[in-house]
Structure 1
Amino acid sequence: MNKLLPTTSAGSLPKPSWLAQPETLWSPWKLEGEALTEGKRDALLLALADQRAEGIDIVSDGEQTRQHFVTTFIENLNGVDFENRKVVRIRDRYDASVPVVVDDVTRKGPVFVADAETLRAHTDAPIKWALPGPMTMVDTLYDARYGSRAELAWKFAEILNQEAKELAAAGVDIVQFDEPAFNVFFDEVNEWGIAALERAAEGLSCETAVHICYGYGIEANTNWKKTLGSEWRQYEETFPQIQKSSLDIVSLECHNSHVPTDLLELVRGKKLMVGAIDVANTAVETPEEVAATLRNALQFVDADKLWASTNCGMAPLSRSVARAKLGALSAGAEIVRRELSTEPAA
């Protein structure tokens, strides 16, 4: 992407009300069979149209064809029992009923490749596609087979690598791995989490990104954030190793968070997707607020490596709010773009 300060969404966008219940995470589909298949494809194209209308440079599918950013991928694997579920603690934050790994995990076949081909056929813009990261997949399951989080993560990394290579072949420009678990299990991140992530990204012909956030704007995450104090320094635990990793891009939360901006210095040299839009708040940012976040980030990242993004996905928001936030993101980036273009040469 040659454009200065390109804009993108970190993750999901709201689904149309005719496809799933609005403003609800993990909402069941309202359609079935062929109508659901067609509806998902239509929603994907609507998400593309919304992004382009609001000036988003690097587009995605908005995760329109998946109910959940992790479990939809897992549904397409062998060795996982979705019928006899277990309740586990997700990211040490909330309890959830999750599927159980009962046998060797393998991929049944391509999961999102057909969707990526559809998106590629309808736009010339760069495409970014999100996949769950290995550690976050492990943290969203009950393991009754492997007995080792690291071993299971490595199996998932190999499967993710197969999918990512096929996505790249389908025309995806950036594969993003979502790893919110990286903000919780610091010892495991440094012991095996980053290595598993690098295995997932190994040998790809496209750029690779890791998205590390503080979660959707749901009550469990909001309550957790209240316990983190006046400074959120979780990135400090993992950024030094991520800076040394093979990943090209780091996506992080910034606006309306308590993340000290100087932590960006720890990943100097990487491209940074800086979250300038708060997804846990329905108030729409002004372009100037977005611009202020980006200016602050520019103290610690070179302009040609800074991308303007959202903090996380926006599935729980209304479509109108999400669109307005994307528009503010584009307008704010344009303010800083103009400022940079008029600066005198050093």
Structure 2
Amino acid sequence: MASTLLQTTVVGSYPQPDWLVNREMLSKMVPRTRVRELWRVPEAFLEQAQDDATLLAIRDMERAGIDIVTDGEMRRESYSNRFATALDGIDDEHPGEITNRVGQKTPVPRVVGKIRRTKPIELRDMQFLRSNTDRLAKITLPGPFTMGQQVRDEFYKDAEAMCMDYAAAVNEEAHDLVKAGADVIQLDEPWLRNNPEEAKRYAVKVINRALQGLTVPTVVHLCFGYAAVVRGGKPTGYAFLPQLADSIAQQISIESAQPRLDLGVLKDLAPKKIMLGVIDLADPGIETPQLVAERIRAGMKYVPPDKLLPAPDCGMKYLPRATAFGKLKALAEGAALLRKELQ
């Protein structure tokens, strides 16, 4: 039993090779619209190049000792835009703008009709992942609440109704991904903490619709943003977290290493499993296994080891690949130290 405790995993993304994407351009953005000029490989060869990059990501995770792997999101410009812009009812060619709390304007897709999923989007990604690893395999989808925050709505004029249609589209995709061999389905919902008041009104409802009927473990990931993009100090607590105890997701994924989160909040999420961020992605250094074990132990004060899954704080997309690999190796070795203690 001890060998199944503290299963390690990743949030989703892994560094894309420099020959695949323009990482200097990528470092300045988290795209909401499609940004095809990010890709260095001509369209005719892009899928083949993305396949090769995906194999590199899978093998790095396996070599590092990670128990639940992903495809590294090698085919995505951002965690959300590939799925979000492929839905019917979305105009990505003539973007609108939204303004964040500090006045920064971001190009976003426009919602111009009813949101529908008319074809599979990540199905081949999951099929490729499943055929190239014998480890537990997870695939991520952008959450319906977050996608609703990343558009200019010119059709619904009702954010909840719009997000319910996003949720239906996510649910259809998720069921196909499970049929393709996904062992875990994760929703990325970082905007829950950006707009907690609106989230309190309907986020759990749309998350539950997105996860409806799934027969594999499901995760909701929320964070304070990529360390490479959100610079400076991060909050030490989530404005929207205890509410997720009412969701049907079996696991909640939070970052705690960089923001030095007060882990007492984990008590509010019982009886969920916790994907606990114990790798600080703002620190260019590589943690020691002992430091990782110490961070996991801090979580074990509030959550038993059979309900903890150690992970990085967030996606590793913006890190140098050598750094990402070293951090994942430390993650696996730190969890192994604690497994020995628990035997």
Q: TM-score if structure 2 supplies the norm length?
A: 0.93
2:277 maps to which of 255, 275, 278: 275
User: Is residue 72 from structure 1 mapped to residue 73 from structure 2 by the alignment?
Assistant: no
Quote the offset at 1:108 in angstroms: 2.8
Q: Which residue of 2 aligns with 1:10?
A: 11
Q: Which residue of 2 aligns with 1:285?
A: 287
Q: Which residue of 2 aligns with 1:233?
A: 237
Q: Superposition pairs for residues 71-90 of structure 1, below 5 Å? A: 71-90=81-100
Q: Which residue of 2 aligns with 1:340?
A: 342
User: Is residue 258 from structure 1 mapped to residue 260 from structure 2 by the alignment?
Assistant: yes
Q: Which residue of 2 aligns with 1:165?
A: 175
Q: Distance in 1 between matches of 2:167 and 2:100?
A: 20
Q: 2:68 is paired with a residue of what secondary structure?
A: coil
Q: Which residue of 2 aligns with 1:112?
A: 122
Q: Distance in 1 between matches of 2:84 and 2:259?
A: 31
User: Pairwise CA RMSD of aligned residues?
Assistant: 1.7
1:208 maps to which of 208, 214, 218: 218
8 Å CA contact 1:4, 1:337 repeated in 2: yes
Q: Which residue of 2 aligns with 1:217?
A: 227
Q: Distance in 2 between matches of 1:94 and 1:327?
A: 37
Q: Which residue of 2 aligns with 1:129?
A: 139
Q: Distance in 2 between matches of 1:167 and 1:210?
A: 16
Q: Which residue of 1 aligns with 2:298?
A: 296
Q: 2:23 is paired with a residue of what secondary structure?
A: coil
Q: 1:222 is paired with a residue of what secondary structure?
A: coil
Change (3 A) 1:92 1:104: farther
Deviations 1:117-145 (A, max 9, x none): 11101111111111001111011111111
Quote the offset at 1:33 in angstroms: 2.4
Q: Distance in 2 between matches of 1:169 and 1:92?
A: 43
Q: Which residue of 1 aligns with 2:248?
A: 246
Q: Distance in 2 between matches of 1:42 and 1:91?
A: 39
8 Å CA contact 1:272, 1:305 repeated in 2: yes
1:181 maps to which of 191, 204, 210: 191
Q: Distance in 2 between matches of 1:242 and 1:173?
A: 21
Q: Distance in 1 between matches of 2:101 and 2:60?
A: 32
Q: TM-score if structure 1 supplies the norm length?
A: 0.92
Q: Which residue of 1 aligns with 2:326?
A: 324
Greater CA drift, 156-165 or 178-187: 178-187
Deviations 1:168-211 (A, max 9, x none): 11000111000011112222222101110010000012111000
4+ residue runs of structure 1 moved beyond 6 angstroms?
Answer: none
8 Å CA contact 2:207, 2:247 repeated in 1: no
**Identity among equivalent pairs (%):** 35
Count of aligned positions: 333
Letter of the 2:237 counterpart: R
1:29 maps to which of 15, 39, 48: 39
Quote the offset at 1:218 in angstroms: 3.0
Letter of the 2:59 counterpart: A
Q: 1:83 is paired with a residue of what secondary structure?
A: strand
8 Å CA contact 2:84, 2:142 repeated in 1: no
Letter of the 1:163 counterpart: E
Quote the offset at 1:92 in angstroms: 6.7
8 Å CA contact 1:80, 1:100 repeated in 2: yes
- Name structure 1 gaps, 5 residues minimum: 342-346
Q: Distance in 2 between matches of 1:95 and 1:49?
A: 38
Q: 2:336 is paired with a residue of what secondary structure?
A: helix
User: Is residue 152 from structure 1 mapped to residue 176 from structure 2 by the alignment?
Assistant: no
Letter of the 1:222 counterpart: R
Q: 2:219 is paired with a residue of what secondary structure?
A: strand
8 Å CA contact 1:91, 1:181 repeated in 2: no
Quote the offset at 1:288 in angstroms: 1.1
